[in-house]
């Protein structure tokens, strides 16, 4: 089976200085890579979790895939076709949709829900004999009452706005759904609701999904595969269950260990990782995680590790991955032995 | 100065053009020096109203009934001048958003000097020396240089450390941390949790941690109050709350947390239904419409506070000691 979406060596560059300083400074500062050499693919019907901390570039990557941010280098292939020109992206956006992070802010406050739900079809110039009926059908799809067509976004709760976001994303019957932090700001009793809805609709309509999040506890249950980002680069990819049970990259392992556990009998003794996330302005030399890695060695400081396959379905960017039974894994558990009792 | 805090039969309602919103109803909580108290609940449960009431920062349209006694003084009955004296001297607040906690046009050092306005006995140089020591204590390296930084030059995690330092500089007897890690990344969150836990070793006042994040509460607190729709529905030692929860809402809330499950779930658990309208709070149990154990009296009769052990109690008809 060929992938629905393939990203090959994608990079995104942001200018370092603003317009004003570029006008007065004849030698502008060099630009920097916020996304650097990302290679990733998504199979039809698959759910991929794109995980990273703030500033890791996960949202930028999602926006670049849909052409909302221009890539500096690399290739995007969607349904077997190369996507490069604005016209290509427009065609791709007809078959893919994005759920933006803030559900209320992404809905225009002056439009009623009915108009918001049918806007995508109008923009794409699709025939729609009865706008109201189409909007009601979409509301029914996400389990909201038909009377919502006449409401304004501010009249909705966070969970309801999220459902409208789902309905709007699915209005075009996309083959790919990009969801940026679909549960941010939602209560724990409501976030399950939104994720269950996406899961059900996925089974019913068969689209593939990429969920961008920093919420590990949630993504563990809703994704088939995980991609972990650090400073704009992928550091690990693999099947979700494998990544959680045996993370290969020390960064993935520290992320999993940092998550607070809702059990007072298993309190952490020490933070799993110290120090701050470095800035993309000043990327550390060698492996970019060496400044915070508990098992970094001299080689990590000077030589950048390659992004290489491990086994059949996993990739890792580390000189000393935490292979099960290997001495690195032992060293890592020793370094964090004090971390959490059982 | 350290003393105990007790809110008894505390109710807060907001007068609005659409009628009074009964945001807090008959809340009883207590906290003693040296304790870390957790207040947990989802949005709309009244946890923010409770801490703003404790810090005497309620807006003008709020009406308070009941009492908040701190060190034998009823805070709700103090005049504005005495309330102000208490805030910033005895009561300090660490907010959720470390980005907006500071004035962007003043250096960290200048702002932290201002935080010590109540220490009339100290000169500026002495205050700066205290700041340097306190920044070191909250894990900021190179404190002298950082004092000359502006807030935007610090990362989110570092700003939250400075906010904690600012609160501690006032020597508060009561430190309220309102969602102290919500705006932070998970690796920074773990560090701030660890910092708060370390600080309590030589801090002998009360710490109140407000959060919707069950993991943060479990990591930090000694005793926990669970709130729902403006009421405290269950309270007890942290271990009792997480391992022997008795109120159906607490049980449902714990069951919803995906962090509790390591095996992949096909469906994430949820709590069906929605919060009651707080302009007309129900006469019976607030949780009855969503409760799977509700029976006839739950709808009409307000449930009693059932004492389950010395410190564990739940407000529910279906719970027996």
- In whole angstroms, what is the distance from residue A208 CA to residue A222 CA? 12
Does a structural domain hold residue A313? yes
CA-CA distance, B76 to B250, in Å (whole number)? 29
Cβ–Cβ below 8 Å for B215 and A259: yes
DSSP string, A317-342: E-SS---TTSHHHHHHHHHTTTSB--
Length of chain A: 342
Question: A170, A208, A177, A239: which is closest to A44 by C-alpha?
Answer: A208
pLDDT tens string for chain B (321 positions)? 568 999 999 999 999 998 899 999 999 999 999 999 999 999 889 998 999 999 888 899 999 999 999 988 888 888 888 888 888 788 999 988 777 889 999 999 999 999 898 888 999 999 999 999 999 989 888 888 899 999 998 888 889 999 999 999 988 999 999 999 888 888 889 999 999 998 888 888 999 999 999 999 999 999 999 999 999 999 999 999 999 999 999 999 999 999 988 888 889 999 988 888 889 999 999 999 999 999 999 999 999 999 999 999 999 999 988
**A23 is a domain residue:** no
> Does residue A331 lie within any of the structural domains?
yes
Phi, psi of A278 (to 5 degrees): -65, 165
Q: The domain containing residue A324 runs over which residues? A: 246-342
Quick one: which of A253, A208, A212, A235 has its CA closest to A310?
A235
Kindly report the number of other CB atoms within 10 A of residue B159's CB atom.
22
Spatial distance between the Cα atoms of A274 and B139, rounded to a whole number of angstroms: 11
Whether residues A265 and B194 touch (CB distance < 8 A) is answered with no
Number of domains in chain A: 1
Chain B residues whose CB is inside 8 A of the A280 CB are: none
Contact between A118 and A135 (Cβ < 8 Å): yes
SS3 B36: strand
Cβ distance A189 to B264 less than 8 Å, yes or no, reads no
∠ at Cα A160 (A158, A162), nearest 5°? 70
Kindly determine whether residue B42 and residue A267, on different chains, have CB atoms separated by under 8 Å. no
CA atoms of B171 and B33, how far apart (whole Å): 13
B258 domain-assigned: no
First to last CA, chain A: 43
How many domains does chain B fold into? 1
A260 CB neighbours in chain B (<8 A) are: 189-190, 193, 213, 215-216, 218-219, 259
Q: Is residue B221 part of a domain?
A: no
Residue A161 Cα, gap to closest chain B Cα (Å): 14
DSSP A236-304: EEEEHHHHHHS--SHHHHHHHHHSPPS-GGG-BSS-S--S-PPPGGGPPSSSTTTTT-TT--HHHHHSP
**Is residue A234 a contact partner of residue A40, using CB atoms and an 8 Å limit?**
yes
Helices vs strands, H then E, count in chain B: 11, 12
Q: Do A220 and B194 touch (CB under 8 A)?
A: no
Q: Which residues of A touch B217 (CB under 8 A)?
A: 262
CB contact under 8 A, A192 and B267: yes
Cβ A192–B269 below 8 Å, yes or no? Answer: yes
If phi over 0 gives left and psi between -120 and 50 gives alpha, with beta otherwise, what is residue A270? beta
CA of B251 vs chain A CAs: smallest distance (Å): 12
Taking CB atoms and an 8 Å limit, are A192 and B42 in contact across chains? no
Residue B8 is classified by DSSP as E
pLDDT score of B50? 94
Q: Which residues of A touch B254 (CB under 8 A)?
A: 262
Distance CA A218, CA B213 (A): 13
CB contact under 8 A, B219 and A277: no
DSSP E strand stretches across A91-232: 96-99, 176-180, 208-213, 225-230
Least Cα separation, residue A216 to chain B (angstroms): 8
Q: How much is the pLDDT for A45? A: 94
Note whether A151 and A111 are within 8 A (CB): no
Nearest-CA distance from B281 to chain A in Å? 19
Domain-embedded: residue A60: no
Among B154, B187, B287, the residue to mutate for chain A (most A Cβ within 10 A): B187
Tokens of A189: 């009793």
Write out chain A residues lying below 8 Å of B219, CB-based: 260-261, 264, 267-268
A16 with A178: CB under 8 angstroms?
Answer: no
Pairing of strands A81-83, A32-42: unpaired
Supply the pLDDT for residue A337: 58
Q: Is A80 left (phi over 0), alpha (psi -120 to 50) or beta?
A: left
How far lies A163's CA from each of A109, A179, A222, A310, in Å?
A: 16, 12, 17, 39
- In this prediction, residue B237 carries a pLDDT of 97
Give the residue among A29, A33, A98, A17 at the shortest CA–CA distance from A229. A33
Contacts with A276 from chain B: Cβ below 8 Å = 155, 157-158, 188
Does residue B282 fall inside a structural domain? yes
Range of the domain at B235: 227-252+263-321
Mutation choice for B interface testing from A155, A158, A187 by most B CBs within 10 A: A187
Contact flag A188-B214 (C-beta cutoff 8 Å): yes
Residue reference for tokens 């949202």: A59
CA distance A254 to chain B (A): 8
**Could you report the per-residue pLDDT of A96-110, keeping only the tens digit for each?**
999 988 878 888 999
Q: Within a domain: residue B112?
A: no
Token pair of A100 as six digits: 């933006």
CA distance B2 to B169: 15
Contact assignment for A271 to B269 by CB distance below 8 Å? no
Stretches in chain A below the pLDDT threshold 50: 341-342
Question: What stretches of chain B show up as alpha helix (H) in DSSP?
Answer: 47-54, 80-86, 108-114, 124-137, 143-146, 156-169, 186-199, 214-220, 238-243, 248-256, 296-300
- Identify whether A55 is part of a domain: no
- φ/ψ (deg, to 5) at B28: -120, 120
The 3-state secondary structure of B133-168, one letter per residue = HHHHHCCCCCHHHHCCCCHHHCCHHHHHHHHHHHHH
- For residue B39, being part of any structural domain is answered with no
Q: For residue B38, what is the enclosing H or E element?
A: strand B36-40
Cβ B185–A214 below 8 Å, yes or no?
Answer: yes
- Beta-carbon contacts below 8 Å between A and B: 130
CA distance B248 to A162: 27
Q: Is A254 on the interface with B (CB under 8 A)?
A: yes
**How far does A70 lie from chain B, in Å, by closest CA?**
27
Which tokens is B241 given? 């709350």
Contacts of A192 in chain B (CB under 8 A): 256, 258, 267-270
- Would A233 be classed as within a structural domain? no
Say yes or no: A278 contacts chain B, CB-CB below 8 A: no
Residue B217 in 3-state DSSP? Answer: helix
Helix (H, G, I), strand (E, B) or coil at A77: strand
Residue B11 within any structural domain of the chain:
no
Tell me the nearest-neighbour CA distance from B50 into chain A, angstroms.
Answer: 19
Measured between beta carbons, the chain A residues lying within 8 angstroms of B261 are 221
Asked whether the beta carbons of residue B186 and residue A258 sit closer than 8 angstroms, the reply is yes
From B216, B239, B274, residue closest to A260, measured CB to CB:
B216
- Compute the distance between CA of residue A240 and CA of residue A227 in angstroms, rounded to an integer: 9
Residues of A in contact with B187 (CB under 8 A): 53, 254-255, 258, 271-273, 277, 292
CA atoms of A291 and A111, how far apart (whole Å):
49
Secondary structure letter of residue B284 according to DSSP: S
Q: Which two tokens stand for residue A312?
A: 């059949």
**Closest by alpha carbon to A161, among A116, A128, A130?**
A116
With respect to residue A271, please indicate whether it lies within any of the assigned structural domains: yes
Is residue A76 in some structural domain? no
Please indicate, yes or no, if residue B311 is contained in any of the structural domains. yes
- Write down the pLDDT at residue A342: 38
Across chain A, how many H-helices and E-strands are there? 12, 12
Q: How far is B150 from chain A (nearest CA, A)?
A: 18
- Is B153:B145 a contact under the CB 8 Å cutoff? no
The answer to whether the Cβ–Cβ distance between A264 and B43 falls below 8 Å is no
* Contact: A264, B238; criterion CB under 8 Å: yes
In a domain, residue B299? The reply is yes
Task: Confirm or reject contact between A324 and chain B (CB < 8 A).
Answer: no
């Amino acid at each position: 089976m060929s992938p629905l979406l393939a990203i090959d060596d994608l990079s995104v560059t942001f200018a370092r200085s603003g317009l004003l300083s570029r006008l007065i400074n004849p030698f502008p500062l060099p630009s920097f890579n916020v996304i650097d050499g990302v290679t990733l693919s998504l199979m039809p019907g698959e759910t991929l979790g794109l995980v990273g901390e703030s500033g890791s570039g996960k949202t930028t990557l999602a926006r670049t895939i849909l052409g909302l941010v221009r890539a500096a280098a690399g290739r995007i292939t969607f349904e077997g076709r190369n996507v490069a020109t604005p016209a290509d992206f427009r065609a791709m956006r007809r078959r893919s949709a994005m759920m933006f992070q803030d559900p209320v802010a992404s809905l225009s406050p002056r439009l009623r829900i009915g108009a918001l739900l049918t806007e995508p079809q109008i923009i794409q110039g699709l025939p729609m004999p009865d706008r109201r009926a189409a909007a009601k059908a979409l509301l029914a799809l996400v389990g909201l009452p038909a009377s919502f067509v006449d409401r304004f976004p501010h009249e909705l709760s966070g969970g309801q706005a999220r459902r409208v976001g789902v309905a709007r994303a699915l209005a075009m019957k996309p083959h790919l759904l990009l969801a940026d932090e679909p549960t941010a700001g939602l209560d724990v009793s409501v976030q399950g609701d939104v994720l269950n809805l996406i899961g059900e609709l996925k089974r019913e309509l068969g689209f593939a999904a990429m969920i961008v999040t920093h919420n590990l506890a949630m993504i563990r249950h809703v994704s088939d595969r995980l991609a972990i980002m650090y400073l704009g680069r992928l550091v690990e990819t693999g099947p979700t269950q494998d990544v959680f049970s045996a993370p290969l990259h020390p960064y993935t392992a520290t992320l999993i260990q940092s998550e607070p556990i809702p059990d007072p009998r298993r309190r952490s003794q020490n933070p799993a990782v110290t120090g701050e996330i470095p800035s993309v302005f000043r990327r550390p030399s060698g492996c970019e995680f060496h400044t915070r890695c508990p098992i970094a060695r001299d080689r990590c400081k000077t030589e950048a590790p390659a992004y290489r396959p491990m086994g059949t379905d996993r990739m890792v960017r580390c000189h000393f991955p935490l292979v099960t039974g290997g001495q690195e894994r032992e060293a890592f558990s020793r370094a964090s032995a004090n971390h959490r009792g059982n | 100065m350290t003393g105990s805090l007790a809110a008894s039969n505390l109710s807060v309602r907001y007068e609005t053009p659409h009628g009074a919103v009964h945001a807090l109803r008959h809340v009883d909580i207590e906290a003693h020096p040296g304790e870390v108290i957790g207040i947990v609940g989802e949005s709309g449960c009244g946890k923010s109203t409770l801490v703003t009431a404790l810090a005497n920062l309620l807006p003008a349209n709020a009406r308070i009934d009941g009492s908040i006694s701190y060190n034998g003084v009823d805070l709700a009955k103090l005049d504005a001048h005495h309330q102000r004296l208490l805030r910033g001297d005895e009561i300090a607040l660490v907010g959720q958003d470390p980005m907006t906690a500071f004035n962007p046009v003043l250096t960290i050092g200048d702002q932290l000097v201002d935080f010590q306005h109540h220490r009339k006995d100290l000169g500026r140089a002495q205050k700066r020396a205290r700041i340097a020591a306190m920044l070191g204590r909250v894990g900021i390296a190179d404190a002298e240089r950082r004092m000359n930084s502006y807030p935007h030059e610090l990362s989110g995690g570092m700003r939250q450390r400075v906010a904690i330092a600012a609160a501690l500089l006032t020597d508060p007897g009561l430190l309220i941390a309102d969602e102290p890690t919500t705006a932070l990344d998970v690796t920074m969150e773990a560090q701030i949790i660890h910092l708060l836990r370390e600080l309590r070793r030589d801090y002998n006042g009360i710490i109140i941690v407000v959060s919707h994040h069950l993991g943060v509460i479990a990591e930090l607190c000694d005793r926990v109050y669970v709130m729902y729709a403006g009421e405290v529905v269950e309270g007890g030692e942290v271990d009792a709350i997480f391992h022997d929860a008795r109120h159906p809402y607490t049980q449902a809330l714990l069951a919803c947390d995906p962090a509790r499950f390591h095996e992949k779930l096909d469906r994430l658990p949820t709590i069906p239904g929605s919060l009651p309208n707080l302009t007309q709070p129900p006469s019976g149990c607030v949780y009855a419409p969503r409760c799977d154990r509700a029976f006839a009296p739950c709808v009409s009769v307000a449930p009693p506070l059932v004492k389950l052990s010395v410190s564990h109690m739940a407000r529910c008809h279906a719970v027996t000691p």
